[in-house]
Structure 1
């Protein structure tokens, strides 16, 4: 990898582990194995590098979600595939964790990819749910937008519960619960 790619990869890891405030330029340089000159050759500073790292993480998160949500099956089967995909639950969501970082939330440029990623996910889930409703797989009264928002909230809340408990079990229970609610809206034979 190039120095800029090493810096982005290191920043992504450190943001997930420590958050923005806890990620110093020195720690990034040490992890990437590059000097200060190389960092400032490629990026104007920590905010610029963090923006590149957050953007890359957001792209990968969307691609992983899209792979499951655009796959075969009913709406509930595709959402199930997305919710049950392999995750490092105890580390939390690399994008969701950034919402707890006051410096990220206070900076419109750093907050933008976080906000856009969650908006994309809610819209994408709402589209899958609307498709399922329109195909008769889900009850006609299902509100795709509100349900999609609930799915995202349960997913993010599941991470929080798992981290608080030091166990992936609460995350699994949260996923089971939201899937049970979706199954209750599935139409028989669909």
Structure 2
């Protein structure tokens, strides 16, 4: 890994562990084993480095989600279930969602943007799959794909919060189970074979 990549990866780790204020340029340089001159050669300053690190974190999380949501061999609603059931480190918190609790990230549009865009993408991606399931007749027509997608995203993020508050992954798993039950309730009953 070159110096630029080490700086980005180290900043990603520190932002997740300490937040924006706790991620000092000196801490980044020490952990990455990179000098101050190299850091400022690649980045204009702390905010530029943090924005790049947050963009990388957001891109990785979208890739992880898309690996499940984009699997065309699986029916659309089942892909959403797979996303809900994906293994997560609930006690560590969401690599993207944790930044919504950092006032310094929220106060800076450049830092907040990757977080906002990731959740907008996720809701849109899930809503598209649910709309596809409706078109295929496997999801009830009265279900609002955008509202259900927002609920799915909220359950996952809320699961992290509940797990961290309880110091146990169990509440996150229970929240995912509840969301899966909600989706199952929205499925259409299997159609009986047509008889002539």
Question: TM range, normalised to the smaller chain?
Answer: over 0.9
Instruction: Name the CA distance, whole Å, in 2 between partners of 1:21 and 1:131.
Output: 43
1:23 aligns with 23
Residue number in structure 2 paired with 1:67: 67
More displaced 10-residue stretch of structure 1: 44-53 or 18-27: 18-27
SS at the partner of 1:89? coil
Aligned length: 190
Q: Provide the rounded CA distance (Å) in 2 between the counterparts of 1:122 and 1:6.
A: 31
Q: TM-score, normalised by structure 1?
A: 0.97
What's the counterpart of residue 85 of structure 2? Answer: 84
Aligned to 2:114: 113
1:63-100 Cα shifts (integer Å, max 9, x gaps): 11111011122222101111222221111111101010
**Cα shift at 1:133:** 1.0
Name stretches of at least 5 consecutive residues in structure 2 with no aligned partner.
192-196
Measured after TM superposition, the shift of residue 36 of structure 1 is 1.1
Instruction: Determine the C-alpha separation between the residues in 2 that align with 1:88 and 1:131.
Output: 30
Aligned to 1:179: 180
Instruction: Tell me what 1:189 maps to.
Output: 190
Greater gyration radius: 2
User: Which whole-Å CA distance do the structure 1 matches of 2:127 and 2:21 have between them?
Assistant: 34
Spell out the pairing of 1:28-177 with structure 2 (5 A cutoff): 28-71=28-71, 72-177=73-178
Root mean square deviation of aligned Cα: 1.0
Per the alignment, residue 8 of structure 1 pairs with 8
